[in-house]
Structure 1
Amino acid sequence: MANSLLTIDMITRKSLEILENNLVISRNVNKEYDDSFAVEGAKIGSTLRIRLPDRALVTDGAALQVQDDNEQYTTLTVSSQKHIGINFTSAELTMQLDDFAERVLKPRISQLASSVDADVANAYKSIYSSVGTPGTTPATSLVLLQAQQKLSEYATPMSPRYGTVNPAANAALVNGMTGFFNPTGTISRQFKTGMMGEGVLGYDEINMSQSIVSHTTGSLPGSPICASTVPSAQGATTLDITYSSATKTIKQGDIFTIAGVYAVNPQTRLSTGSLQQFVVTADQTLTSTSATIAFSPPMYTAGNALATVDAFPAASAALTFLGTASTTYPQNLVYHKNAITLATADLLLPQGVDMASRQVHNGISMRIVRQYDINNDRMPCRVDVLYGYSVIRAPMACRIWG
């Protein structure tokens, strides 16, 4: 019986399957907003405004105390278009689909998946909770449990929670937990695969990804302290500081704490006993001995429905930046599914080409366009994904420094 030619729809569906199977971080994040962008020909730069859950204070007594809505929003912009080219001959179209996928599609599509994952891994820059010792590869159950602690202190639901770590952390963690009295199935799986896997220490799944990115700290100011004028208005996102050395830098993603400023549980508004961690939200060069730095989360004190800290900082309170200046550290991630969202959009199917196909599965849209090269008897294709990601609930995620 004669071979049947592989169709563009078959190739696209198989390519999408390979992409999904090779995604790690992106596979476990929220994709519920994809439908908002599922319009043919979505334009790069399309933005969705996402409303966050309202928060209100519980009041005492019989008298009704009506509170205004505390509406908060974040935005999700579909602005990243990545593609990879695949060149195959008409003869290769006569192969069986699985053979074609293994020889032609998988080597390229897996690279596209890694690129998307590495992009989403940059979500760490908006996450302010962190555990671990900068410069030390996480290797014990304690660091994973401390990350769980951070999520729980911010009232994050227990499930689904995921962890994604780089190869070094995965190796150290698997080895560091070999002495635990685990269920036989868990031990067997870790021994066979060398991976942490599912159902470990309260996590639905802990994966290894080569796409975990690293953060290089700024050169950091020397002995920084709060200036004499400190935040006093609710929702403050900037802080005036003074320091002892000029011409320094801070980088988006740098983390600092302020002496005497403690985090609060978002439900009870009581102090967690841990200093609130803040993340720098914009790169900045500090050229004198004073500066104003931008940070997240906003400062709301315990009497406010949106409380993040137990009190505003005092004048001259010391700031402590995490890590050594100008040093690179891996940023492993722990997150609830709803902490980060990924949305893809339907790209336009162009006219005047040999073939074009678009397929959507599990909230991921992929397009393949094929054209015939008569000079070389080839079918060059481009595989495209148009997407955007955003940290929509930063308290529900935590960084593990390596």
Structure 2
Amino acid sequence: MANNILTHQMIAREAAKMLEEHAPFIANINKGRQEEFGKDVQGYKKGDTVAIKIPTSGKVHDGAVFAGGNAGDDVLEQSVNLKLDTQKHVALQFGAKEKLLDITDFKERILRPQMQTLSSVVEADLIARGVVGVPNTVTMSLSGTNPSNALALSRAKMNQFLVPSGDRSAILTSTANVALSGEVSRMYNPTRTSDKAYLDGYVNSAFGMDLYEHQSIATHTKGTADTITVSAASQTGNVITMTAGTSGTLVKGDVITIAGVNAVHPLTGQDTGVLQQFVVTETVTVDTGTAVKIYPEIKPTAPAKSVTASPASGAVVTLVDTTGAQNLAFHKDAFTAAFAPLPVLASCEGYTARLPSGISVRVMTFGDGNNDIERTRIDVLYGFQVVRGLHAVRIKETS
């Protein structure tokens, strides 16, 4: 590949662009704040941990005394430690004929199909990880007269938890998009063009969100535990002891509500009159007195009050039916991902491209002297984390 037409640098840059173009979920989540990547662009490997900058949320204090007599709130961005735990690549075998192609032919005939496949696999992985960290859920009736109501409910849920109005997106299955198509004239705003319209699957903008048709939407199958109750009164935090009348599982990503535990306004702590939805964060078999990990945590007192009250002993726990496709509406900072620049190994030729958006792709070629061929791999190394699960909403489809 060392020729005047096709270089590793050209391929890597085009590959990085294509990865983002074919990956609307990746393109619309936080991933561009890895400051240390600019200091060491060749030193990352699977298993490394990086600190990712996340914008802070505002906080309101009472009275005339500055910060209620405390130190002022830190206006610097918060950091989230994120492990680079996943490496994926596509493997190409080049011959002399392919090496003589110009960049346009190479992009369309060879590179784009490979990057579509890679981006689809990476997207599916990240979406599946994101969905299981989101507690708030609404339902879209595909056969109903008003399927777009699910988007309106998602918008209302995000507003309820003070999600910033900008940088909102939604990824939808093809069946959901078809169900919505009959309402195009009413729900879409034809005067607005998103700056993300170049992304694959972009449909339009509605309800304050950029909408994308997506083929890698996650699915979920809820657990089997039944007749669940809270085992003891006055429990707080993110681990609650529960008992099931019929022993069974609560699966990571299951959504539950607890009788008497309502959601509150994030700043004022006022009762919204609606049960708080919680997501199970670790799969467990529930029988008698089983510890169940949940998000958000149960905190019935200020500061950072999250619910109206702790659950009573024997309070009924309802397992929400989330089985099926999990369309997702989300704000950019609900999730964060880091795409780290991989080094080109010794004795190999290659180049690592990094886009301003945070996407990094390595292209690396090595020879096989025994068979007189060259092999090229295109790699991504990344990590992912749910940062603010309440800043996203799952949209479950029903027929």
Q: Which range, TM-score by smaller chain?
A: 0.7 to 0.9
Judge conservation of contact 1:86–1:105 (CA < 8 Å) in 2. Answer: no
Give me the whole-angstrom Cα distance separating, in 1, the residues matched to 2:35 and 2:144.
Answer: 39
Bigger shift: residues 105-114 or 69-78: 69-78
Give me the whole-angstrom Cα distance separating, in 2, the residues matched to 1:309 and 1:211.
Answer: 34
Q: 1:276 Cα deviation (Å)?
A: 0.5
Deviations 1:35-70 (A, max 9, x none): 334532213222245677377563246698324789
Matched, 1:180 2:186: yes
User: What are the equivalent positions in structure 2 for 1:299-318 lying under 5 Å apart?
Assistant: 299-301=298-300, 303-318=301-316
SS at match of 2:43: coil
Matched, 1:85 2:91: yes
Q: 1:111 Cα deviation (Å)?
A: 0.8
Matched, 1:351 2:356: no
Does the C-alpha gap of structure 1 residues 285 and 52 become closer, same or farther in structure 2, counting only changes over 3 Å?
farther
Corresponding position of 1:190: none
Does the C-alpha gap of structure 1 residues 291 and 183 become closer, same or farther in structure 2, counting only changes over 3 Å?
closer
Does the C-alpha gap of structure 1 residues 139 and 346 become closer, same or farther in structure 2, counting only changes over 3 Å?
farther
Corresponding position of 2:49: 47
Corresponding position of 2:232: 228
SS at match of 1:398: strand
Amino acid at match of 2:211: I
User: What are the equivalent positions in structure 2 for 1:320-335 lying under 5 Å apart?
Assistant: 320-323=318-321, 328-335=323-330
Corresponding position of 2:295: 296
Corresponding position of 2:127: 121
Corresponding position of 2:255: 255
Amino acid at match of 2:220: H
Amino acid at match of 1:215: H
Corresponding position of 2:239: 238
Give me the whole-angstrom Cα distance separating, in 1, the residues matched to 2:64 and 2:22.
Answer: 55
CA RMSD of the aligned region, Å?
2.9
Q: Percent identity?
A: 30
Matched, 1:149 2:156: yes
TM-score of the aligned structures, taking structure 2 as reference length: 0.87
Matched, 1:209 2:207: no
Q: 1:21 Cα deviation (Å)?
A: 1.3
TM-score of the aligned structures, taking structure 1 as reference length: 0.86
Judge conservation of contact 2:326–2:395 (CA < 8 Å) in 1. Answer: yes
Give me the whole-angstrom Cα distance separating, in 2, the residues matched to 1:195 and 1:114.
Answer: 12
Matched, 1:396 2:391: yes
Does the C-alpha gap of structure 1 residues 52 and 223 become closer, same or farther in structure 2, counting only changes over 3 Å?
farther
Give me the whole-angstrom Cα distance separating, in 1, the residues matched to 2:341 and 2:258.
Answer: 45
Corresponding position of 1:267: 267
Q: 1:290 Cα deviation (Å)?
A: 3.4
Matched, 1:99 2:105: yes
Q: 1:136 Cα deviation (Å)?
A: 7.7
Judge conservation of contact 2:24–2:201 (CA < 8 Å) in 1. Answer: no
Judge conservation of contact 2:282–2:293 (CA < 8 Å) in 1. Answer: yes
SS at match of 2:20: helix
Judge conservation of contact 2:23–2:200 (CA < 8 Å) in 1. Answer: no
Give me the whole-angstrom Cα distance separating, in 1, the residues matched to 2:142 and 2:127.
Answer: 19
Judge conservation of contact 1:368–1:383 (CA < 8 Å) in 2. Answer: yes
Judge conservation of contact 1:229–1:240 (CA < 8 Å) in 2. Answer: no
Give me the whole-angstrom Cα distance separating, in 1, the residues matched to 2:143 and 2:363.
Answer: 43
Matched, 1:65 2:68: yes
SS at match of 2:367: coil
